[in-house]
Amino acid sequence: MGLGHRFARAGLVAGASLALVAAATPRATMHRIFDRFAELLPLVLDDEHFLDETSQARIGTLLGELDDVSEALEAHAAQRDADFQYHAGGLSNDLREARRRFDRGAPEEARFFVVTATQYCVACHSRVPKARNFPLASRLTHEAAIQSLDGDERALFHVATRSFGTALDEFEGFLLDPGTDPRRISIGDTIYHYLTIAIRVERDPARAARTLAQLAERSDLGDEFQQVVAAWRADLATYGPSVATPPSLARARELASAGEAEGAAARTGLVRDLVASSDLLQIIDRDAAPADERAEAYYWLGVIGDRHAFAFWHPETATHLERAVRLAPGGPHAQDALARLEEHWRFVYGGSGGLHLPREANATLEELRHLVAEAKASAAPPAPGAAREADEAD
């Protein structure tokens, strides 16, 4: 597998960033940015062209132009929900870092940041049901650099450029190809990505069910994974139809909390958690939703993200749990969200034995503890005699 392929598997698709940027810019600027990405992507993925001196000069120019968009993108994101801010900020930061590394003479490092930045596009576009496709993405489909990718990698490209139907075609072609190594199906994350797009974005559980039925016919996937597939198929039949109905916090709570008792078997609950997260993401996107409802939605999203962090693109577990506390520090889930957030960070930064956290993480935890303590104090009933003493003082 070439260098371009290895980077693609890590998150791929430099051209994809445009779809996220497009939401923040007028149409004319959107076209201009896409033109830059359409030119940059083949240069980034093709090893020979990437190292060519002429291409290097052009890559530097393109990175500079893309970096210049970051400020506008982040300003737009400030008016959106925490998830959008997270993805937009991550994309902008990686683009800035790519430009900085390139300018200081480290093109390979720059390429890494350009390609990994696009994971934020994939993550953002896999959140909620599609609103629209991105027709200009078809201009890149026939590029040699794209066609040379494996089927699962091309699928990620199409997710990032909002060509969801084509993405599902590519995913299915990869998963159902008899020549695909069964380990890349049973152990890899492609099946997770496929189910996320089919259920949460395209709202097509019947299509996912058909694919899993065909997958179950393979005899080389192993008994354990066959049991997982059987659980997914059963849950698709039971819960799949609900993705076409209005979101329900009660339903999402029931589905998400069911996985709490499963522990290590949480993988079998992926379909159920995708249905729950579909409801929850729509709830937090509704400006009219009360703060306590959005806080609970963020909490359950954090719980789900923690269960499946290894399977998703840039999981927002910490962002969701932090937001749950900030929105309702006196709410019923605040204490648990805070405890989960600290546990999550100790796991993430476990290189130090889980005992020491970065300064920023510790500062955030301390701030959240203070918010919860203040909310608890303000909600506590007055001490015996306090009311009488206050009256006497008056």
Tens-of-pLDDT digits for all 394 residues of the chain? Answer: 443 443 344 344 434 444 444 444 435 545 566 667 667 767 776 767 777 778 888 888 888 887 777 666 666 655 566 666 766 777 777 778 888 888 888 888 887 777 766 666 666 655 655 555 555 555 555 565 566 677 787 887 777 777 788 889 999 999 999 999 999 998 878 899 899 999 998 999 999 999 999 999 998 999 999 999 999 999 999 999 999 999 999 999 999 998 887 655 578 999 999 999 999 998 988 767 899 999 999 999 999 988 886 555 556 888 899 999 999 999 999 999 999 999 988 888 875 454 678 888 999 999 999 999 999 999 877 656 554 554 555 4
Question: Whole-angstrom Cα distance, residue 6 to residue 341?
Answer: 32
The helix, strand and coil proportions of the chain, stated in percent and rounded to the nearest 5, come to 75, 0, 25
Sign of CA dihedral 57, 115, 83, 152: positive
Q: Looking at residue 187, what is its pLDDT?
A: 84
162 CB-near residues (< 8 Å, 6+ apart): 19, 125, 130, 132, 133, 134, 137
Q: For residue 68, what pLDDT is reported? A: 78
Q: Cβ contacts of residue 234 below 8 Å, gap of 6+?
A: none
Asked whether 143 and 154 are in contact (CB, 8 A), the reply is no
The count of other CB atoms within 10 Å of the CB of residue 183 is 12
Contact of 229 with 238, CB cutoff 8 Å: no
Confidence (pLDDT) at 373: 96
Cα 65 from Cα 250, distance rounded (Å): 46
Rounded distance between C-alpha atoms, residue 176 and residue 161, angstroms? 23
pLDDT score, position 309: 67
Which residues touch 131 (CB under 8 Å, ≥6 apart)?
Answer: none
Cα separation, 76 vs 88, in Å, equals 9
pLDDT for the residue numbered 94? 79
**DSSP assignment letter at 260:** G
Classify 39 as helix, strand or coil.
helix
By three-state DSSP, how is residue 149 classified? coil
User: What pLDDT shows up at residue 3?
Assistant: 36
Compute the chain's Rg from CA coordinates. Answer: 23
Buried/exposed code over 245-264 (b: 16+ C-beta within 10 A; e: otherwise): eebbbebbbebbeebeeeee
State the burial class of residue 54 (Cβ atoms within 10 Å of its Cβ: 0-12, 13-18, 19+). Answer: exposed
Q: What is the pTM of this model?
A: 0.74
Q: At what angle do helices 205-215 and 223-239 cross, to 10 degrees?
A: 160
CA distances from 258 to 104, 215, 254, 303, 308 (A): 51, 26, 6, 11, 14
The DSSP result for 263-298, as a single string, is: GGGGGGGHHHHHHHHHHHHHHHT-TTS-HHHHHHHH
Cα separation, 210 vs 204, in Å, equals 10
Q: Which long-range contacts (CB under 8 A, 24 or more apart) does 306-311 make?
A: 306/340, 306/344, 307/259, 307/266, 307/269, 307/273, 308/192, 308/266, 308/267, 308/270, 308/273, 310/189, 311/189, 311/192, 311/270
